[in-house]
Chains A and B, each alone.
Chain A
Amino acid sequence: MSESTELTIDWAGLAPMVIVFVAAFAGLLVEAAVPKARRLPVQVALAVAALAGAFVAVVLNADKSGAVFNLGGTGLGSVIVDGPGLFLQGTIAILSIIAVLLLAERRTVRGGDFVAEAAVVADSAADVEQRREDGATEIFPLTLFAVTGMMMFVTAGDLLTMFVALEMLSLPLYLLCGLAKRRRLISQEAALKYFLLGAFASAFYVYGMAMLYGFAGTVDLAGINQAGVSSGQPRMLLYIGVAMIAVALLFKAAAVPFHMWTPDVYTGAPTPVTALMAACVKVAAFGGLLRVFNTGLSSSAWDWHLILTVIAVATMIGGAIFAVTQRNIKRLLAYSSIANAGYLLIGVIALGEAVGQTMFYLAAYGFTVIAAFAVVSLVRDGDEEATHLARWAGLGKNSPGTAVVFTILMLALAGLPFTSGFTAKFSLFSAALQADELGLVIVGVVSSAILAFPYLRVVVLLWLNEPAPDAPTVNLPSPMAGTVVAAGVAATLILGIAPGFLLDIVDQASTFLNT
């Protein structure tokens, strides 16, 4: 590149990832060194401390905007610390602290919701044996590895770094999905399905990266954006490359028609892991989409605008319509998460105008959905979660507190004023209108109206139906899960009633480097 070959590294910019990554390895050592009885508190403390440390590091980096690796004064694209990257890293850190608390809940199932070995044949003698044991604590280092991947994913400035991050966030999640203590078989099915489809998505990604490299001569996002204007290579390479990369990213984001895995994996995975996926992975996936499309592909917006619009419409409408027919609360939330991916895609399509609002939406949705899954994990039929909706009938009578909380969350998801759901939709849709995406906004509104029906049906069940004689119990007190629910609901209401501070933050943090 240049004459000088001195490599300078902005370690402070790298700190959030380094902290979590080191803590993940430390967690592995804890598994080896600390006696079994004391592993859980040590692991939880370590994970929470690391994530909190990462959050502090993110805050200290605020207002930074530049490349982490510089070669002789020229920024290398691999890791970029800028407003959106930092905001998303911070969001991931906070949401994953909450998710870790949910993972640590041991009251609802004796010994926790996890087994030690995912691959043991379901219901075999060894499997029955391991179900009697206390849950595995390896889940915490695994989660930290995944979180490192997510943080890297939202700050990756070239496609190669992004691919490494993608794998890093995915592999631990595949494993975590298969660790459910109850209903082993569908948990294993979920893990296998997620892994196989995820592997396909990764393959698409690599293929797309190769095409874009052929087109632009670089995997650097800024370079690809430049090439979108100036490259002399056949444009077909760009089309194929964009399509392949988009397939992989939209798969992670759960957009129609790449959503097939979502309901099965969300249902099969242990509920705390589902919460982690619905909140944190969503943030990471859309963080990646925002960065790729804003900094790498904005110059070729004309080429992908139509197809992405079609996908957004299909995702919004499809997710909402499928949600209407669901009878299982986890599947309902899965389809709702698909529909929400559709709304978020509006923000991606609207490009620069809507970056801040999309990030706001991600944060608001993350808190709400994590609390919703936490409530799901509390409503139990004996040992198992009562996921069938009919079992939730009349919950308001026996457990009014839980029912009030879940009603607030449902109304927030439906987008009613005074909840974060409204604030998020309002700011996202207004940004989209500013970017002249009226059609998408109208589809989004219609989809919201359809989606309100299943949410409302849950509310009807909670309050207006009579409970069955053997109605599920709500497992209280569950200190960890209780904290998660309280934090999620508090954020939902605060972001609904006084969102000003976060709106200001996203407003300041909405500019990508190199746009």
Chain B
Amino acid sequence: MNELPLLSALVAVPLIGAVVVASIKRENADAARWTALGFAGAVAVITALVAVGFDYAEGAPWLQFTESYTWISAWDLNLSWGVDGIALLLVALTAGLTPIAMLAAWRDLDAVTRSVPAFFALVLALEAAMLATFLASNVLLFYFFFEAMLVPMYFLIGSYGTGPKKQYAAVKFFLYSLLGGLLMLVAVIALWVNNGGVFDWQTLVESDPLESGTLQNWLFLGFFVAFAIKAPFFPFHTWLPDAGGAAPAAVAALLVGVMDKIGTFAILRYCIPLFPDATRTFAPWVIGMSVIGVIYAAFVAIGQTDLKRLVAYTSIAHFGFIGLGIFAFTSESATGAVLYMFNHGLATGLLFIVVGFLTLRRGSAQIKDYGGAAKTLPLLAGIFLFAGLASLSLPGTAPFISEFLVLFGAFTHNEPVAVLATLGIILAAAYVLWMYQRTMQGERNPQLDEVPAMKRDLTFREKALVAPLVVAILGFGFFPQPLIDMIEPAVDHTLGFVSDEPVDLPAAEGAGNE
């Protein structure tokens, strides 16, 4: 298709950028910022090239832009890359959100005690690892980056985070993910031993699946638990509020906006095609977990007193919707789930970034330290409300389409479950609007007038970096069809493994014209 090794470049460019930026002296903070932004911009450009060259036709091959270079032949470990519609959407999300997060953290770091070049180098390394997980088409290669990405994120939370519990949060994040990863490693090895030493994803998918039964069930669980921790699904979620609460807001946007999607992406890419029978066996349990997650996390979110933790809990509720959408095994719900991953990245990314603006001004993430803040920060309050409404899936914003599709698909699959999950929408309205009301409206907290920064509305840089997100949320709220066209073939390929009947094709028009 395309002769240029674009996917290799997508991984290599940020990696090289990380090394370059890390070698910049601490005193030249501005040089580090601009160099890092330059590399992130280059990634975005390459992503655009891939998106332009991608074949969206229905009969197109599942994975495109495939490349493969031998690495360790004894293990069938190759540098194999390939992209499908789902991965392309998430790559675009990563490539778009990373420069925005960099801008959000531009001058907001504590540059006195912490090295600025190291921060930007870590963000680029994280971007490289996340892109590599989306692009890998070799199970072991995926695992390598799945684990390796913990290291930059660990330092970003532990070293650049805020609050007294940042070290605790960083270690908890690392150990949780590592435990999941190691269990997955056992499953990865067992898969390798039982299929004659193949790690190549395409070979695995094209060959006959493992016999259904105990082995497949255990392997499924080994993979699934790692992904459920990453996502995170209830009841594996307890690390996220700590990590999201302690991370700097820009990093939290990447953590929740992109990194957590790797869990749900990997369920679609690995669990379903490799272990279809086990997926079906466990689907009711996962749906149960998802629905509990939707409702439980929403209630807990209502009770939060810390803004960042609150947003983290709302995300856990949203991941419940994604899980429900995937495991309902209908074309609508799965398409909706994939779309949800993308839209949630936009909406929650924006919400975290705006919360970051707020907490930096006020010097606190406690809700009780605010009240009536909109009087002096009208624009910031407006964006805050917009991000909140987007994350509660107001019609007209992009997340509405995805939530609608998930619930629509879930109704055809199992009505009581869908009814329960719909409760989550009402609860979402409660926590978002109450959060807004307690911080922005109502009686003005007199302490706010003592903080000069609370009178400074959005700066040019802040406006410039929220604008693309606002445009995207509104744009894809009204015109989701291009995204649906992009992911649908891949979703249908995936669901082909778990449904007995031929999958029903596009059913999204009705929702798409909202």
Contacts and interface: CB of A to CB of B under 8 A. Distances in A.
Contact of B151 (A416, A430, A442): A416
Contacts of B192: 430
A456 B193 contact: no
A418 interface: yes
Given A417-B148, A418-B148, A464-B159, A433 B189 contact: yes
A36 B170 CA distance: 54
B167 interface: yes
Interface stretch (B60-68, B172-180, B230-238, B291-299): B172-180
B186 A504 contact: no
Contacts of A504: 74
A441 interface: yes
Given A411-B151, A456-B174, A426 B185 contact: yes
Interface majority SS (helix, strand, loop, mixed), chain B: helix
Contacts of A417: 143-145, 147-148
A185 interface: no
Interface residues of B, number: 32
Main secondary structure of the interface of A (DSSP, over half): helix
A171 B374 CA distance: 78
A390 interface: no
Contacts of A499: 72
A251 interface: no
Contacts of B175: 449, 452-453, 456
A445 interface: yes
Given A441-B189, A453-B175, A460-B170, 4 more contacts: A417-B144, A418-B148, A426-B189, A504-B74
B470 interface: no
B183 interface: yes
A416 B155 CA distance: 15
A463 interface: yes
A327 interface: no
Contacts of B158: 460, 463-464
B73 interface: yes
Contacts, number: 79
B474 interface: no
A210 B179 CA distance: 46
A397 to B, nearest CB: 9
Nearest to A397: B113
Interface of A: 411, 414-418, 422, 425-427, 429-430, 433-434, 438, 441-442, 445-446, 448-449, 452-453, 456-457, 460, 463-464, 498-500, 503-504, 507
B483 interface: no
A28 to B, nearest CB: 45
Interface in B156-188: 158-159, 166-167, 170-171, 174-175, 178-179, 182-183, 185-186
A417 to B, nearest CB: 4
Contacts of B179: 449
A457 B170 CA distance: 11
Contacts of A418: 144, 148
Nearest to A459: B154
Contact of B186 (A427, A429, A453): A429
Contacts of B186: 429, 433, 438, 441-442, 445
A416 B193 contact: no
Contacts of B190: 433, 438
B247 to A, nearest CB: 13
